[in-house]
Amino acid sequence: MLKIDTDVKYVKGVGPRVSKILSRINIKTVEDLLFHIPVRYVDRTNIKKIKDITIGEQTTLVGTILDRSLRRTVRGKIVGEFLFSDGTGNIKLLFFNQPYLKNVLKKGTHLIIFGKIDFFKSYQIIQPEFDVIDKQEGSSKENFGGIIPVYPLTEGISQKYLRKIIRNAIDNTDLSSYNILDNKILHDCSVIQLKDALLRVHTPNSVDEGIGARKTIAFYEFLFIQTYLERRKFKTKAEGGVYIKKSDFTEKFITKLPFKLTGAQKRVTEEILEDMQTGKRMARLLQGDVGSGKTIVALISALNVIKSGYQVAFMAPTEILANQHYRKIVKYLQNSDINVELLTGGLKTSEKKTIKENLTSGKTDIVVGTHALIEDDVVFRSLGLAIIDEQHRFGVEQRSKLLNKGNNTHLLVMTATPIPRSLAMTLYGDLDISVIDEMPPGRKEIVTRWIKDDKRFELYDFIKKRINEMGDQVYVIYPLVEESEKLDLKSATLMFEEIKKYFSDIKVGLIHGRINSGEKEEVMKRFAKGEIKILVGTTVIEVGIDVPNATIMVIEHPERFGLSQLHQLRGRIGRGDKKSFCILITDRFVSDVAVKRLKIMEQTKNGFKIAEEDLKLRGPGNIYGTRQHGMPDFKVANIIEDADMLMKARECAKKIIDYDRDLKYNKLLDRFEGIDRYYRIG
C-alpha cells in the first residue's frame, strides 16, 4: 500500500521518467496526483450518433478525422476545416486562427468533441471542445462507467495515461487519512468524507456527482484553514486581555480635534473600546480606504489604553511613515502629559539607548517606530496595545514579536488595502474586523484618466502649466517588480532624466528603494516643503506621506500594478483643497483585461469595489500586486467560484470548535496546523 505522501514515482505505471514530467505540473506525491482533478467530464452514456443530430443542440460525438484543410479568408483569418465521421455520418469542424491544430488533428485521429450543431451548406460545429482519445477508448465503457473525467494535461502525458495512473493510485493507496471528520460533524455539516469526495471526483456515477465532489474537496480545503483560524481565535480570547476603561481625557481630546469624527470613525472607536473591556484579548483588523482616517481612530484607542495605565506601540513599515505618524501624534498631544517617542533604525545608538530606557521605566507612554520596535533589547514596562499600520507589510513572526513584549496585550492591525469579504474571511478569519466605510467630508475629487503614450507631451504641457501657474506638485510613479528590478530601476532613472530635460526650469527629485534612507528622507522633505515640484519614484511612496499640495499623479505602466495598489497610490493625491488628477499612461497596445481594469480605475472611487473587481479579473494572488502577502495556495478551491463552500466551511468550523475544541474526535483536521507559513498575519 502506498501512503498519500509517497513519491508519485512509486505509483504503478509512473516511474522516474514520468514523475519528472508530472513535477512540471506540481504533481510530486500521491496526494498531488489525487488532487489533480478533472476539468470536466464527458458523459459517455449520452453520446449521439451523427445521423441523429439536430441543429442547435449541444452534443457529444465520438469519431475520427477523415480530412483536413487550412485556408485563409479575405480578411486574413486562418480557417482550419476538419471532416469528422463516426461511421453514421460526417460533420465539419471549424477552427479559427489555430494553425497548429493541423499537427494535432491529423487524419485518423480519434476524438471526443463537444459543441453546438450548426448548419451552413452542411452540418458543422464551430470551435468545438475536443479531447484526443484512443480508438478502443471511444467504444468501450470499462473502467470509468459512462462518465469520463477529462484532466488538465501537460506535454508528454495523455488523457488515457493519466486516467490509468490516477486509477492505480486510488486502488493502491491507503486513503484512510482522508476520513477526516467524525460522524457527528459529518451529519451536522451535512457533508461526506474527503475520501469519498476524492473517489467520486475521479470516478463519478454522473456528471453532477463529479461536480459536487469537486465542491466538497474545495470545502475541505477551506475547512482545514477555517478550523485552524477558529482555534486560533479561541486561544487568543482564552488568554485574557488587560482591562481598558474609557477616559475623560480621551473624551476631551475628541472634542478639541480640529474636525468632527465621521460616523464610521465613532462607531469603530466604540467597537475597539468595547473589545478592550471584555477581559479578553482583542485581535482586530481595522480596514478603511486610503484617507478614511484610521490614524486618529488608532490614536484615540491608544489614549484610552494610556489613561488606563499601559503603554502603546505603534509600528509602521517604513521610516518615512513612522516619522509622519510620530510628528502628527506629537502635534495632537502637545500640551498634554503624554510622552511620545520615535524609535527607528536610523537613530544614533545613544539616542536609541535613551528611548529604550524610557520604555523600560515606563516614562514613555506611546512609541512610534519601525521594525526597530521588535528588536530583542526593546523592553516595555507594560505594553497594553500594539498597533500595526499597513499590516500586510509585516510577517506573522514580526507581529508576534511585538505582542510578546507585553502580557495580555491587545492587538489592532490596520490596512488601507480593502479586502473583499470572502478574502478577508480566508486571510483573517481569526481576527474581528472593523470597517471605516465613510470618508471625511469635503474631500476634493480625484479625476482619473487613462491615456496612451502618444499623448505624453500634451500631458507634460498640462503639468508644466499647473506647476507654473498654480504651484502644483506632481508624482510620477514607476512600477517595480522583483523579477525585473534592475530593468525597472533603469527605466525609472531614465524617466527621471527625460523629465529633468523636459522640465528644465523645474526641480525634479528621484526616489526609489535603492537610494539610502537618509537621502530618501532628504528628497521627501524637500518635496514636502515644495522645493521639489516633480517627484519621480517607485512605489516606495505608496504608503504614508501626506503632501496636500501634490495634485497630479502620473502612473507609468499602470497595467503592471494591482488595482488595489493603484488605488492606494492614487490616495496620495486629493489631500488638499484643490482638484486632483491621476493619469494612467500606457503603451499604445494593451490587453483586453488591462483595458477593463483601467476603465474600472477611471470609473470607481470605492476601494472595496475596486478590490472585488480585481479579485474577479485577476484572482486572489494579485490583490496586492504581489503574491508575497501570503494567500494560501489551494489545490482545488477557488475563493470566488467556491465562495458558497467557504461560507459553509466557516459555519462548520464553528460547530467543530464548539464541541471538539482540541480536535480529539476530528484529529486529522489539524494536518494544516503550522499553516502560519502561508500567512503574513494570522
Q: Which residues bind ligand ADP (CB under 6 A)?
A: 259-262, 265, 288, 290-296, 416, 440, 546
Q: How far is the CB of 264 from ligand ADP (least distance, A)?
A: 9
Which of 440, 621 has the CB closer to ligand ADP?
Answer: 440
Which of 59, 292 has the CB closer to ligand ADP?
Answer: 292
Look at strands 383-388 and 410-415 and give their pairing. Answer: parallel
Which of 316, 467 has the CB closer to ligand ADP?
Answer: 316
Which of 294, 570 has the CB closer to ligand ADP?
Answer: 294
Q: How far is the CB of 316 from ligand ADP (least distance, A)?
A: 10
- DSSP 3-state assignment of 587? coil
Q: How far is the CB of 324 from ligand ADP (least distance, A)?
A: 8
Amino acid identity of residue 321, one-letter, is L
Which DSSP state fits 206?
A: S
Handedness of CA 331, 336, 338, 341 (dihedral sign): positive
Which of 309, 440 has the CB closer to ligand ADP?
Answer: 440
H helices present in 308-417, as ranges: 319-332, 349-361, 396-403
Nearest to 508 by CA among 545, 464, 542: 464
The cell for 673 is 496546523
Which DSSP state fits 82?
A: E
Q: How far is the CB of 553 from ligand ADP (least distance, A)?
A: 15
Which of 8, 272 has the CB closer to ligand ADP?
Answer: 272
Query: At 516, phi and psi to the nearest 5?
Result: -65, 155
Task: Return left, alpha or beta for 433; rule: phi > 0 is left, psi -120 to 50 is alpha, else beta.
Answer: beta
**Position closest to ligand ADP via CB:** 293
Which of 215, 325 has the CB closer to ligand ADP?
Answer: 325
Which of 297, 467 has the CB closer to ligand ADP?
Answer: 297
d(CA 441, CA 337): 31
Which of 294, 597 has the CB closer to ligand ADP?
Answer: 294
In Å, how far are 451, 455, 559 from 599, measured between CA atoms? Answer: 11, 18, 11
Which of 62, 272 has the CB closer to ligand ADP?
Answer: 272
Q: How far is the CB of 610 from ligand ADP (least distance, A)?
A: 15
Burial label for 173, CB within 10 Å (0-12, 13-18, 19+), is buried
Q: How far is the CB of 568 from ligand ADP (least distance, A)?
A: 9
Q: How far is the CB of 436 from ligand ADP (least distance, A)?
A: 7
Q: How far is the CB of 294 from ligand ADP (least distance, A)?
A: 3
Which DSSP state fits 190?
A: T
Q: How far is the CB of 491 from ligand ADP (least distance, A)?
A: 29
The cell for 627 is 503574491
The cell for 549 is 499640495
Q: How far is the CB of 9 from ligand ADP (least distance, A)?
A: 52
d(CA 584, CA 40): 40
Q: How far is the CB of 439 from ligand ADP (least distance, A)?
A: 9
Q: How far is the CB of 634 from ligand ADP (least distance, A)?
A: 31
Q: How far is the CB of 545 from ligand ADP (least distance, A)?
A: 10
Which of 294, 410 has the CB closer to ligand ADP?
Answer: 294
* 410-415, strands of its sheet edge to edge: 340-343, 366-369, 311-315, 383-388, 410-415, 283-288, 432-436
Nearest to 38 by CA among 167, 172, 190: 167
Which of 33, 264 has the CB closer to ligand ADP?
Answer: 264
Which of 245, 260 has the CB closer to ligand ADP?
Answer: 260
d(CA 384, CA 410): 6
Q: How far is the CB of 312 from ligand ADP (least distance, A)?
A: 16
d(CA 207, CA 144): 12
In Å, how far are 269, 295, 318, 442, 479 from 412, measured between CA atoms? Answer: 12, 11, 18, 28, 30
Q: How far is the CB of 295 from ligand ADP (least distance, A)?
A: 3
Which of 221, 389 has the CB closer to ligand ADP?
Answer: 389
Which of 294, 392 has the CB closer to ligand ADP?
Answer: 294
The cell for 611 is 478590490
Burial label for 556, CB within 10 Å (0-12, 13-18, 19+), is buried
Which of 37, 299 has the CB closer to ligand ADP?
Answer: 299
Return the CA Rg of the chain: 30
Which DSSP state fits 621?
A: G
By the 8 A CB rule, do 444 and 580 touch? yes
Residues 6 or more apart in contact with residue 58 via CB below 8 angstroms? 114, 115, 116
Task: Return left, alpha or beta for 240; rule: phi > 0 is left, psi -120 to 50 is alpha, else beta.
Answer: left
d(CA 342, CA 321): 11
Nearest to 372 by CA among 334, 344, 403: 344
Q: How far is the CB of 387 from ligand ADP (least distance, A)?
A: 12
